[in-house]
Amino acid sequence: MNRRNFLYSLPAISASGVVSVSQNQSLSNVQAIATWDNQSALQGCDQVLTQNGYALDAVEAGVRVAESNPDDLSVGYGGLPDATGKISLDACVMNELLRCGSVSYVRGYAHPVSIARGVMEFTDHVMLVGDGAEAFAKKKGYERRKLETKASKQAHKEWKKGASSNNHDTIGMLALDRQDRLCGACSTSGRAFKLPGRVGDSPIIGAGLYVDGKVGAAAATGMGEQVLTTLGCFHIVELMRQGSNPQAACELAVNRIIEAFPKSADQVAFIALSRRGEAGMHARYEGFKVTILEAGHIRVIDASHTQ
């Protein structure tokens, strides 16, 4: 048994009795992958890739589609607001050379993913937050937009009356271009009705997104506080560096979270893409969907789950 097979088949059983990995195989020949049913966003990514474009341009273009969609209640325009009714956005990008940019708590801008890319390209910082991120966006002329919609205001009203607040997602997207450059991006309005100022996993490099162009990439969705605690995406890429395939690495990262939060009912899920185009996806609970682009075709699949 070589080292890769050994790691893949490690039957680690935690204190909580969770078996580490299933026998699910990674998918191969994947050009791009996105969390949830994000077909139009992945089409935006595909358009760049098919024109022999750069993977970073592809993921930025794809994520911008989701950020513009008011029906996506957890990303960009029409996202779910914080406890005060205001929408604040988090996003980050990372390229094949370990360069990254990130913004958090950005209000009044249409495309935080592009502002995050601007932080990477025009500053020598990685992350800008709140007023500082907005001042940077204003100076660079990024598109302003009133983010609140009728639906997001209604959701806030209902939450104040006592409706469930368990509604949040992130678009995470990973792409491999024709020159084998691997890049990733993610964007979210974060946890619905969060405390103002709350930062989740999505804009934190290593938590909500991590890319190492020589190894692979991962993106997260779900309860950000849990992903932050285990630096889930960095964990996945390091497992891949040590020989795990992307599917096994996603399962191990989910199971680490289950060990840390054994009683939690919150969903957490990961996607991963290796530099050879093998993809993995796994969630804690049933219901996680993933959109993939393979051989020029886009399809939505159900991810495996542990519990």
Residues classed as catalytic:
170
The only residue of 114, 187, 221, 244 in contact with ligand ASP, by rule CB under 6 A: 221
For the bound state, the minimum distance from the C-beta of residue 23 to ligand ASP, rounded and expressed in Å, comes to 27
Q: Where are the alpha helices (DSSP H) in 69-190?
A: 112-122, 130-140, 150-160
Verify binding: residue 38, ligand ASP, rule CB under 6 A.
Answer: no
Distances (CA, A) of 174 to 49, 60, 198: 12, 10, 25
Q: Which of 190, 213, 246, 277 binds ligand ASP (CB under 6 A)?
A: 190
Q: Let me know: does 26 contact 274? Beta carbons within 8 Å.
A: yes
Query: In angstroms, what is the minimal distance from the CB of 104 to ligand ASP?
Result: 10
For ligand ASP (CB under 6 A), the number of binding residues is 12
- Asked if 81 touches ligand ASP (CB under 6 A), the answer is no
Q: Does 187 bind ligand ASP (CB under 6 A)?
A: no
C-beta atoms surrounding 260 within 10 Å = 13
Place of tokens 């791009």: 32
Enumerate residues 6+ apart whose C-beta is below 8 A from 51.
Answer: none
Asked if 224 interacts with ligand ASP (CB under 6 A), we say yes
- CB nearer to ligand ASP: give 32 or 75: 75
Q: Which CB sits closer to ligand ASP, 169 or 177?
A: 169
SS (H, E, C) 220-259: EEECHHHHHHHCHHHHHHHHHHCCCCHHHHHHHHHHHHHH
Pick the stretch among 113-121, 195-203, 282-290, 296-304 that binds ligand ASP (CB under 6 A): 195-203
Q: How far is it, in rounded angstroms, from Cα 280 to Cα 122?
A: 33
Query: What does DSSP assign to residue 201?
Result: S
What φ, ψ does residue 220 adopt, rounded to 5°? -120, 155
Q: Minimal distance in Å, beta carbon 207 to ligand ASP? A: 9
- Note whether 201 binds ligand ASP by CB under 6 A: yes
Distance, in Å, from the CA atom of 247 to the CA atom of 239, rounded to the nearest integer, reads 11
CB of 3 to ligand ASP, least distance (A): 32
- Beta-carbon contacts of residue 59 (< 8 Å; ≥ 6 apart): 32, 45, 93, 173, 174, 175, 183, 184, 185
Q: Which of residues 101-120 bind ligand ASP (CB under 6 A)?
A: none
Would you count residue 282 as binding ligand ASP (CB under 6 A)?
Answer: no
If one asks whether residue 191 binds ligand ASP (CB under 6 A), the answer comes out as yes
The torsion region of residue 150 among left (phi > 0), alpha (psi -120 to 50) and beta comes to alpha
Site string for ligand ASP, 157-176 (x = CB under 6 A): -----------xxx------
We find the least distance from the C-beta atom of residue 202 to ligand ASP, in angstroms, to be 5
Instruction: Give residues in contact with ligand ASP (CB under 6 A).
Output: 168-170, 188, 190-191, 200-202, 221-222, 224
